[in-house]
Amino acid sequence: MKFVALVSGGKDSCFNVLHCLRQGHVLAAFANLHPADVTKQELDSYMFQTVGHDIVSQYDRCAGVPLFRQQIKYASSRNLEMNYTLTLEDEIEDLYFLLAKVKKELPDVEAVSVGAILSSYQRTRVEDVCRRLNLTVLSYLWQRDQLELMNEMCLMSKTADTGVSDGLNMDARIIKVAAVGLDQSHLNMSLPQIFPIMKRLNRMYEVHICGEGGEFETMVLDTPFFVNGSLELVNQTVNDSDESNGVYSTQLEVVFKPKDRAPDVKEALRKLPVPPLLDEKWTFLLDMMKNVEAKQIIEHRNLDILESSLADPKISIVQAKGLLYISNIKGNSALASVEEQTQGVLEELDSIMKKMAVEPSRAINCSLVLQSMSDFSVVNSIYSRFFDISIHGPLPPSRACVESKSLEKNCLLQLSIVFDMTSSVKRLANGITIYPNKNGLHVQGRSYWAPCNIGPYSQAIWLNSDPNKVSFLSGQIPLIPSSMEMVNRDPVLQAVLSLRHFDTLKTTIDAKKQLFMTCFITSNHMVPIVSEVWSSYCNGMQYESELWMDKEEDPIRSLITVKISDLPRNALCEWSGITCRHLSITDPTADEDIQHITKFQPNASCVVNTIEVTNGQVQSHLITGFADRLDDLKIFMNSIKSHYKATLYFNPMDIQDFTATNNTEFIPVEEVFDCEGTPHKFGFHMTI
């Protein structure tokens, strides 16, 4: 893709350009925001570095691509919420105007390079603007380990201030410092010179090695994509007027110096360090799994599509512990097209929501089952309009999407969705309705971190009011994050990589304790692989390698593996689940029904595993269970007297005479397996 590089002149924005080039993208232009008063260096901006903006004005001459610039006013950060929504006269709207101008003049530009490392504040704002302009965000530094990243930047930098550059290295200088242990003596240092100092200060005071906390700012004078010339320092003026606050800066005076010969950019990119698809820790797990015995599991279930059965459950509406579950909304089989059926499903959902006074912004999680994955893009388009984030706020619900040929004949889709009802919505002055109690991770840019979303969903959603931070994570398939292409068809690699993505999400949001896990597979040969990968991940790798010593044990029996007919991008597996940050000690005064279930488990006809979560006010039991006879399933479900919500995985041929309960989401599949790969007729996740 052709991309415009959003540059401040700092090391991060320029280093990300190198990674964009390494990934095969083409630099088409620069974009920069600067103070309206060009005599000023500093602005009270929460978003943009403006120190050194006068030097950026020469970048087009250095690189031979156009530079687009836009003024921003002093103190124009109006919207300080983490998840940005359109706000008039905010500096982010200046960014929108700037990139809109780029796109108008260069219509073949498809992407924007952004150097954000840890700041979700920056990321969400750039992503909001790019979403509105239909541009892809390229943020290859996102969530990188700062020590590793700074080391890589130094490897790509001039080693000393010799005044000579071979054009294959980056020359970034320190132009501002604002941290304990840093003063004017550190101004004009190169990255290799400041690096050991930052490592020492990090050990002593936990300062950010890459300057993510504002410890220092830089200005790039040369880089491999400066093919025409570099900037040579001729003078500097130190400003210590804010010395009492520990802030020092310098204004550099530079001149353009033509290059006798254009640097070999390809050679520079070849030596650019690129993070591996799997780091050392996950590579160790992958290597361990190469010895998994490929057991032959016969696919013996009857997969005929039924005309109608209990597999045709009624819509379920359940309220429990502040959550509203609306399940089993199916496409009308009398309608021929997927467009009509999808619209009908959402109209039915809208009708229920209006009756119950529920706004779309309250949605936190959904499951979407399609008769054919070829309908994915059509359904996505209609679904995204219903949960339009420009109307209902910036965090769409997390989601798992699978194909199941076991849906009722001519029914093209089924939707189930969860809403939070514990708080109130907020209507903003711009007309957008948000749900302040909802928080989440909605990453829309490409990186090495994890896949960006390939549909209108967030990677993770949780509630601000929940001290346990129970989090709903979207299904993860084995995509290569940097390119968003599917990895090769190696089944072990697909199982490990997609689980690595899931682990990355729950680690990033610090909700590492597993409550429920579902692994969707498209072939039975994946069963032993998934079982072994999951078992090792949960509590086996800690004993195999020191790389895994920091991994908390997870409950192996929280897994249900289900075979369906297809997954997005023709993946072999998809991991989806619920996690939390904190579990609590079992309350011995639990209500009578909960105690009954706990006592009933050892001799129960259903094999169940229970995890208890409590915060002193609310106690929940999360049960993963299996049954091999319909009567056993009935007995177990009928034994529960409290409000509960269950998700039942089943083959429709096994359940024709089961009266659908009003508190169950039914997902028709081909086969069901437990964590050991043992087949069962029924598998369920239940929250009481």
Q: Give me the mean pLDDT over the 609-627 stretch.
A: 91
How far CA 359 is from CA of 130, 317, 427, 455, 528, in Å, comes to: 26, 16, 11, 21, 43
**For residue 598, what pLDDT is reported?**
36
Cα angle, residue 86 at apex, residues 83 and 87 outer, rounded to 5°: 105
Q: What is the pLDDT of residues 82-91, one digit of tens each?
A: 889 888 889 9
pLDDT band at 455 (very low <50, low <70, confident <90, very high): confident
Tell me the C-alpha distance between 562 and 559, whole Å.
10
Residue 588: per-residue pLDDT: 44
- Report the alpha-carbon distance of residue 113 to residue 582 in Å, rounded: 37
DSSP state of 538: I
Identify which of 295, 323, 280 has the alpha carbon closest to the alpha carbon of residue 541.
Answer: 280
458 in helix, strand or coil? coil
Taking a C-beta distance cutoff of 8 angstroms, is the pair 286, 493 a contact?
A: yes
Domain range summary for the chain, segments of one domain joined by +: 2-270, 280-291+310-687
Answer with the residue of higher pLDDT: 71 or 306.
71
Quick one: residue 24, left, alpha or beta (phi over 0 = left, psi -120 to 50 = alpha)?
left
Average pLDDT, the chain: 90
Tens digits of residue pLDDT in 372-393 = 999 999 999 999 999 999 999 9
Q: How many CA atoms lie within 13 A of 616 on its CB side?
A: 3
Query: Token digits for 649?
Result: 């995985």
At residue 589, the pLDDT reads 46
Taking the C-alpha atoms of residue 413 and residue 353, their distance in angstroms, rounded to an integer, is 19
pLDDT given at position 470: 97
pLDDT at 599: 34
Residue 474, pLDDT > 90, answer: yes
Residues 222, 34: Cα–Cα separation, whole Å: 20
pLDDT of residue 593: 40
Give residue for tokens 């260096």: 41
Q: In sequence order, what are the beta bridge partners of 238?
A: 250
Q: Are 610 and 597 in contact (CB under 8 A)?
A: yes
Q: What is the pLDDT of residues 130-187, one digit of tens each?
A: 999 999 999 999 999 999 999 999 999 987 655 555 678 999 999 999 999 999 999 9
Amino acid at position 35, single letter = P
Beta strand 67-72 with 26-35 is: parallel
Over residues 536-564, mean pLDDT: 94
**Model confidence pTM above 0.85:** yes
Instruction: Answer whether residue 14 shows pLDDT above 90.
Output: yes
Backbone angles phi, psi at 130, to 5 degrees: -65, -35
User: Quick check: 74 and 35 in contact, CB under 8 A?
Assistant: yes
Q: Which of 170, 117, 110, 163 is nearest to 140 (CA)?
A: 117
Numbers of helices and strands, H then E, in the chain: 16, 32
Q: What is the bridge-based pairing of β-strands 398-403 and 363-370? A: parallel
Q: What is the pLDDT of residue 83?
A: 87
pLDDT for position 391: 94
Can you tell me the distance from the alpha carbon of 658 to that of 41, in angstroms, rounded to the nearest whole number?
72
Q: Using the predicted structure, report yes or no on whether residue 235 has a pLDDT greater than 50.
A: yes
Give residue 136's Cα distance to chain centre: 15
Q: What percent of the chain has pLDDT over 70?
A: 92
* Neighbour-count burial for 439-470, b at 16+ CB within 10 Å, e otherwise: bbbbbbbbbbbbbbbebbbbbbbbbeebbbbb
Q: Give yes or no for a contact between 33 and 242, defined as CB atoms under 8 angstroms apart.
A: no
Residues 40-67 have pLDDT tens digits of 767 667 778 777 789 999 999 999 999 9
pLDDT of residue 32: 95
The CA distances from residue 104 to 1, 96, 280, 463, 529, in Å, are 16, 12, 44, 40, 50
Q: Is there a contact between 625 and 518 (Cβ–Cβ < 8 Å)? A: no
Q: How many residues are recorded in the chain?
A: 688
Given a contact cutoff of 8 angstroms between Cβ atoms, the answer to whether 511 and 583 are in contact is: no
Strands 682-687, 679-680: pairing is unpaired
CB 426 within 8 A of CB 434: yes
Residue range 2-270, CATH number: 3.40.50.620
> In 572-612, where does DSSP find H-type helix?
592-600
Helix (H, G, I), strand (E, B) or coil at 660: coil
Three-state SS for 287?
helix
- What does the pLDDT average to over 585-591? 45
User: Does the structure show a pLDDT above 50 at 312?
Assistant: yes
Instruction: Give 378's contacts (C-beta < 8 A, 6+ positions apart).
Output: 338, 339, 342
298: pLDDT strictly greater than 60: no
**For residues 603 and 23, what is the distance between their CA atoms, to the nearest angstrom?**
57
**Token couple for 149:** 């990243």
